[in-house]
Amino acid sequence: MNGHNRHEKIEIQELPTFYRFPFIKVNVIDDVEQIDFLLSGHFTVEDMTGECGLDSLIGEARWRVAVEASAPAKFQYGISIHEFFQPQQAEKLAGKLQGKGYEPKIQTFGYQWQLGEDRRFKNSSYRVFLDGFPTIREARRIQRHLVDFYQPTIYKYRAREARGVIEMFDVNYNQSIKCSGPIKLTPRERNSVISLLNILGRSDVMEFPDLYNIQFRINDIGKLQCVAEMDIEAYVGGLLTVQYQENYPDSYLETLAITMRSWVAANWGRLHKGEAYQFCSTDHCYYLSGLGTQPRRVLDIVKETKGFVLTCEGEICNTPSHLVCGGHTEKLENISDSDPKSYLKAFFDRAGYEPPPEVPVRLDNEEAIEIWINSKPDVHCNFSRKKDVENFQKFRQYFRWEIEYARHELEEIISKKTEEEIGTLYDIIPLKRGKSGRLLEVEILGSRQNVKLVGDQAVREAFAEERLPSSCFIIRTEMDEHGIPTAFVFFGAGNGDGIGMCQLGAISKAFSGQPAMEI
């Protein structure tokens, strides 16, 4: 795995049968008013309470599902303080927090299942958190008292579920069903196919053959979401299809299949606690565009690697990846509020993990990071130095990147994302960087108030409509004649949080002839 500690015992192990492994539930579509779909085959349709439904749907027909009426969920804020892999450690921290006057809680994530007749795998973790804050400002006030001792991150959770009515009907309105809960379609025979049409105004089709079931639900903002349930190998094939390019070497595709399968097994039940699904189809997890037409090479790779996962010291490895590390990966505990993993460390993305000669050894200070971002070091994911490899533009554009905002434009984004009115934006001050130079804490200086941001995700989201490619960046401020900022230019390195495998670095290794295990 690209970027792991070479002294750790990382192995590929075949687990050909996942005994009692739960089906994967994936949120494949979210935040839409309606979904059109085609059915081919025989299906049972019912709401999740079993109160209303159609006995069966047979044959090919076009259907639509839509929200008739809804009320969005109501939210409060919580602070995730730390995630442990041993319950005793979580209980110890909770006791310390109680001694300081807080009211901490412990939440268990994960799942346990059989990997063989006499072997079990348990991926449980234990999160210590505070909740019940009515506003993000209240949560930030408490976060400031904890940040010197922990790496607390703020999250939003539902205090009241969304409610509404979903209607499903065929285009001729000969058959219809209307429910106050989710609607579930279950195939009653093999080779049945559900095809989702015109997703988000696009002309493409998302096909889901041989599903366990598919569900239409009301999401937190009162719109539709679609959750598909499937086998783990079908899910891996769908993920690999999204990533696939014809010119990828087989060793890279094998690497992706094994690391994706390992990541799914290690994170089942941990990433979307309290949701109706375990994984989403965004860059928070992995994009999924259906399970229909898959390239022959993808089918062959999934079949050849079926059941193979990465293990370390007898446990399945949590194997995240990101598009481009920018030349240096980051260690898990700097990005996540969790215990470290021995195989998720921070390294230069090059042979021997040694720094290139033209850059500083340490990147966690401002002088070093400016040199780093303004350089083009000889690392695996710098394709501008590789003359024998095709131009992977979707990757290369993020090795080093630049984004510019007018001051008023950035002020509006910050206000929207932080829910704080900062007034005139004067400066953005780096406070703490990780091993890769990624920003872990910053302070926004405004005429009305200052706002402190903690965590890679909070930093990336505060300065973009969605999020910045990476938190490894420096800022150049342009001033008017009175010394007031007029524009802010972000210069950055990489795309993603830097944890785990750098995909472009892995592609580079594959082109150089390295097999999957070495990658």
User: Both tokens of residue 137?
Assistant: 């400002």
Q: What is the pLDDT of residues 436-476, one digit of tens each?
A: 999 999 999 999 999 999 999 999 999 999 999 999 999 99
Per-residue model confidence (pLDDT) at position 388: 54
Q: What is the pLDDT of residues 148-176, one digit of tens each?
A: 788 899 999 999 999 999 998 888 878 88
Domain boundaries, the chain: 24-69+167-230, 74-160, 400-493
Q: Is the dihedral of CA 369, 374, 378, 383 positive or negative?
A: positive
The residue behind tokens 């720094």 is: 355
**What span, in angstroms and rounded, lies between the C-alpha atoms of 112 and 124?**
8
Whether the per-residue pLDDT at 191 is higher than 90: the answer is no
User: Both tokens of residue 463?
Assistant: 């300065």
User: Both tokens of residue 237?
Assistant: 């094939």
CA dihedral 403, 407, 409, 414 (to 10 degrees): 90
Q: Is the dihedral of CA 111, 115, 120, 126 positive or negative?
A: negative
Q: Show Cβ contacts of residue 488 under 8 Å, excluding neighbours closer than 6 positions.
A: 404, 405, 407, 410, 425, 428, 475, 476, 477, 478
Q: Show Cβ contacts of residue 233 under 8 Å, excluding neighbours closer than 6 positions.
A: 261, 302, 306
User: Both tokens of residue 511?
Assistant: 């082109």
User: Averaged over 103-127, what is the pLDDT?
Assistant: 79
- Which of 453, 399, 447, 441 lies closest to 427 in space, CA to CA? 447
Q: What is the DSSP letter of 100?
A: T
Across 1-91, the runs of DSSP E, i.e. the strands, are 10-14, 24-32, 34-40, 42-47, 53-58, 61-71, 74-84
Whether the per-residue pLDDT at 135 is higher than 70: the answer is yes
**What span, in angstroms and rounded, lies between the C-alpha atoms of 469 and 454?**
17
Side-chain-facing half-sphere of 406: CA atoms under 13 Å? 3
For residue 258, the Cα-to-chain-centroid distance in whole angstroms is 18
| 487, 365 Cβ separation under 8 angstroms | no
**What span, in angstroms and rounded, lies between the C-alpha atoms of 55 and 63?**
16
| 279, 229 Cβ separation under 8 angstroms | no
The fold for domain 74-160 equals Alpha-Beta Plaits (3.30.70)
| 103, 118 Cβ separation under 8 angstroms | no
Whether the per-residue pLDDT at 268 is higher than 70: the answer is yes
- Which of 371, 364, 468 lies closest to 417 in space, CA to CA? 468
Per-residue model confidence (pLDDT) at position 5: 42
Whether the per-residue pLDDT at 428 is higher than 90: the answer is yes
Mean residue pLDDT across the chain = 87
Q: What is the pLDDT of residues 38-51, one digit of tens each?
A: 888 888 888 766 66
Per-residue model confidence (pLDDT) at position 386: 61
User: Both tokens of residue 122?
Assistant: 């348990």
Identify any residues that bridge with 443 across adjacent strands, giving them in sequence order.
429, 452
Lowest mean per-residue pLDDT among 9-18, 128-137, 320-329, 484-493: 9-18
Angle at Cα 10 formed by Cα 9 and Cα 13, nearest 5°? 120
Angle at Cα 296 formed by Cα 290 and Cα 297, nearest 5°? 100
Side-chain-facing half-sphere of 150: CA atoms under 13 Å? 25
Element (H, E) at 166: strand 163-170
**What span, in angstroms and rounded, lies between the C-alpha atoms of 159 and 239?**
33
- The pTM is what? 0.87
Q: What is the DSSP letter of 328?
A: B
The residue behind tokens 């949701």 is: 275
Split at pLDDT 50, 70, 90, the class of 3 is very low
Angle at Cα 126 formed by Cα 120 and Cα 127, nearest 5°? 150
The residue behind tokens 């594959």 is: 510
Split at pLDDT 50, 70, 90, the class of 2 is very low
| 105, 129 Cβ separation under 8 angstroms | yes
Q: What is the pLDDT of residues 15-28, one digit of tens each?
A: 544 545 568 899 99
Per-residue model confidence (pLDDT) at position 66: 92
Q: Could you tell me how many residues make up the chain?
A: 519
User: Averaged over 336-356, what is the pLDDT?
Assistant: 87
| 442, 430 Cβ separation under 8 angstroms | yes
